[in-house]
Chains A and B, each alone.
Chain A
Amino acid sequence: MSEDDGGCGGAGKSRNSGEYFTPYPDQVLENVLENVLVFLKSRRDRNAVSLVCKSWYRAEAYTRSDLFIGNCYAVAPRRVTDRFKRVRSVSVKGKPRFADFSLLPPDWGAHFRPWVSAMATAYRALEKIYLKRMSITDDDLAVIAHSFPNFKELVLVCCEDFGTSGLAVVVSECRSLRVLELIEDDVSDDEVDWISCFPPEGTTNLESLSFDCVESPINFEALERLVARSPLLKKLRLNRHVSIGQLQRLIFRSPQLTHLGTGSFAPLEIAGQQQVDNREPDYGSAFAACRSIVCLSGFREISPEHLPAIFPVSANLTSLNLSYANIDADQLRPVIRHCHKLQVFWALDSICDEGLQMVADSCKDLRELRIFPIDGSENIEGPVSEVGLLAISIGCRKLQSVLYFCQQMTNAAVIAMSKNCPDLVVFRLCIIDRYRPDHVTGEPMDEGFGAIVKNCKKLTRLAVSGLLTDRAFSYIGQYGKLVRTLSVAFNGESDIGLKYILEGCTNLQKLEIRDSPFGDSALWSGLHHFYNMRFVWMSSCRVTRQGCTNVARQLPRLVVEVFRGDGVEGGERGDFMDTLYMYRSLDGPRTDAPQFVKIL
């Protein structure tokens, strides 16, 4: 394709009167291209297309409707709105993941305000917003409600700084709202009855409503009326203020549900006392009426004796999230043994190795397993161990994603999993007792993680734990060629470990490290790669101010932030930087950094 500017800017405007309109050749090609490109959805493919030549760059920019911003500070909103003109859906991700674990002081940033302001004028046809780890205020929600007449979907994950008043504005003014999903957000209770703020008359367009993270009580009667006039509602996730009796009423209203978050799954408490009702309603009949439920979650305050109510739907379930339910193996058994179609299973370690064996026996199609700890103390006897992991690896050969918290592990079990489950894409093992070696052999956990990167050829995400030496990292660097996300905590022996990673993992995008002995020379060895990454986080390691400054000077488009995790100004703790967070940016250092953040 020629780079000639013959067709540049040509909108075929030169028209001789009386003759047919003949656009410039490049314009034809651009039109054709646009018509083809509308079918291209993958952003990686689109990025490649945009690099072919200017004409393709323009065509691609004109036809991209889904925008994905992986790091809100990598690019300024204005640059985005200048390039892409016809965006209908925007995803923005903000804070680094370690913010979830209190390692990032409050008010660090990731404000949605500049984005929503830019989009309010540039993208009037915007329909969808997806945010993860962003700070979004009630005012921002109001701007959304007022600026986008066709607004349809709002999904907020791990966001904060807004409350029920902002929700009220969105639900009352966004008449085309189909999807409102609040997932693990911190929503302040402004004592506003937002559920009542949906348009009071007529049917709604609601397809998905999730508010299980909203800690404030809701107006149940209003919710019931809302559900009754939402014939398209397929996904409903309630918060823990909805009792099991109320849940039953809702299900009867909405038998077409496919995804249900059950709320508390416990009876209503009256005046602080458990309501003892000898004639408890048959909760199972409600579930029996919902033949289409495939995804169950919630169970926030479950009374285990009510779990059998879900029997009628267990055989259809593809996803079951019991990770808020403190149940044991005996309570799990009658449910799980029917779940032959289960692909996603989240639970607490209260189910023990025995419960995991049951999962392995029944759920042959399992793709994703997450086991969370009830008790996060170290040096206790944990209820799950290598026994459970091994059982799962033997029974669930199609496993793709594992998150497993335990107190002890063996290399043998991890090696077995690497061989039994070659399709693993995500492997995150968290041995809570830090620096713990293989508890049978006393060896470091190097061989186990080495086997994972070696045998699981599709692996893109890895989190390591336990006692690891440089050897483990040499394996990861050598075999982890597809790894994009790596988490390291309280691991490692020396700088060489990090060097192996930075030199070996050619596809590494996101690196988060805490409390590990990696220093300036290791950091320096990544210079060739940092521009290809979304971010690097290193906290409580051994990088010095000088070392970080050197990197910042070498790479002018890298924003190098240093700060202390406790928000105290300065950045250092002892001889080393407390936290280093760095990322590439097209638009230089951000202007909204708080006092405690220093940009080198």
Chain B
Amino acid sequence: MMHLKETELCLGLPGGGGHNQEEPLKITGKRGFSETTHLKLNFVQPNESSSSSSDVSKDTTTTLYVKSPPAKAQVVGWPPVRNHRKNVIGGKRKTEEARLVKVSMDGAPYLRKVDLKMYKSYQQLSDALANMFCSFTTGNDGRQGMMTELMKESRLMDLLNSSEYVPSYEDKDGDWMLVGDVPWQMFVDSCKRLRIMKGSDAIGLAPRAMEKCRNS
């Protein structure tokens, strides 16, 4: 763990700024604390009033808090959860973390959350979503199969102009896509949020989806 220095992310300042040349300065990991404060002060100094306020707290005595970039290097033993508990949570999914995404449905009063890792196919996901939101669809016959039908690629275009519900998702690039376009695992990896929208609102989605697939 301690030998992954090269792969760890850090705030690299030109010319360093810390005392040690042997290791790159980084916010995470076992560094003496003053190295990091020194680093932050250097960072802010050139432009005190700069709007890096989103990154650095306004504490006037010391700039202690730096909101870390999303892919922070792993710190040993943090958070303080016993290894035993870490290994066992999720049972079969020992080395994977939950993929919780929010699900909203147009017209429904509140959000739900699903863990995408609980499902192995679009079929399973659609069943779960149907169960979740069953009280909010306007009495459609054959509602059970509705979601499944929607997710079959061949029917997607047909439904876009209807008032039926269409499941869409926001991917990691921030684009809204139609659910069902990509292989299941790719969907799980890239889905950040789900939204079940009215079909008529989803018209603009399809062309982008196809374009993305061509480009990726």
Residues in A lying within 8 Å of B, measured CB to CB: 98, 100-103, 158, 184, 186, 213, 240, 264, 266, 300-301, 323-324, 326, 328, 348, 350, 352, 372-379, 383, 405, 430, 432-437, 442, 444, 467, 469, 487, 489-490, 492-493, 514-517, 539-542, 565-566, 573-576, 578
Contacts and interface: CB of A to CB of B under 8 A. Distances in A.
B55 to A, nearest CB: 12
A378 B88 contact: no
B172 interface: no
Given A100-B83, A565-B76, A575 B100 contact: no
Size bin of chain B's contact surface: 35 or more
Contacts of A348: 89
Given A264-B91, A379-B72, A565 B30 contact: yes
B72 A328 contact: no
Interface of B: 1-2, 19-20, 22-23, 30-34, 37, 57-59, 61-62, 64-70, 72, 75-86, 88-92, 97-98, 100, 113, 115
A515 B91 contact: no
Contact of B57 (A266, A326, A437): A437
B79 A405 contact: yes
Given A301-B92, A542-B32, 11 more contacts: A102-B83, A240-B91, A324-B88, A324-B89, A352-B113, A374-B100, A379-B72, A469-B64, A487-B80, A517-B32, A565-B76
A229 B90 CA distance: 34
A515 B33 contact: yes
A444 B82 contact: no
Nearest to A467: B65
A378 B37 CA distance: 20
A300 B78 CA distance: 23
Contacts of A490: 78
Contact of B70 (A372, A379, A442): A379
Contacts of A98: 77
Nearest to A348: B89
A184 B82 contact: yes
Contacts of B72: 377-379
Given A102-B83, A326-B115, A374 B88 contact: no
Interface SS of chain A:
loop
Nearest to B82: A100
A436 B78 CA distance: 14
17 contacts: A240-B88, A300-B91, A324-B91, A326-B90, A372-B81, A373-B79, A374-B97, A376-B79, A432-B78, A434-B78, A493-B62, A514-B77, A515-B30, A515-B31, A540-B32, A542-B33, A575-B32
Contact of B19 (A376, A442, A575): A575
A436 B92 CA distance: 33
Given A100-B83, A430-B80, A434-B78, A300 B58 contact: no
A473 B74 CA distance: 27
Nearest to B22: A574
B88 A566 contact: no
Contact of A574 (B32, B84, B91, B100): B32
Interface hub of B2, B32, B82 (most chain A Cβ within 10 A): B32
A375 B33 contact: no
A158 B85 CA distance: 12
A373 B78 CA distance: 12
Contacts of B77: 98, 101-103, 514
A542 B88 contact: no
B76 A376 contact: no
A348 B88 CA distance: 12
Contacts of B30: 515, 539-540, 565, 573, 578
| 6 closest Cβ pairs, A-B complex | A101-B77, A517-B33, A301-B91, A540-B30, A566-B2, A435-B65
Contacts of A437: 57, 59, 65
A442 B57 contact: yes
Given A184-B84, A326-B90, A576 B65 contact: no
Contacts of A375: 97-98, 100
A101 B57 contact: no
A350 B72 CA distance: 23
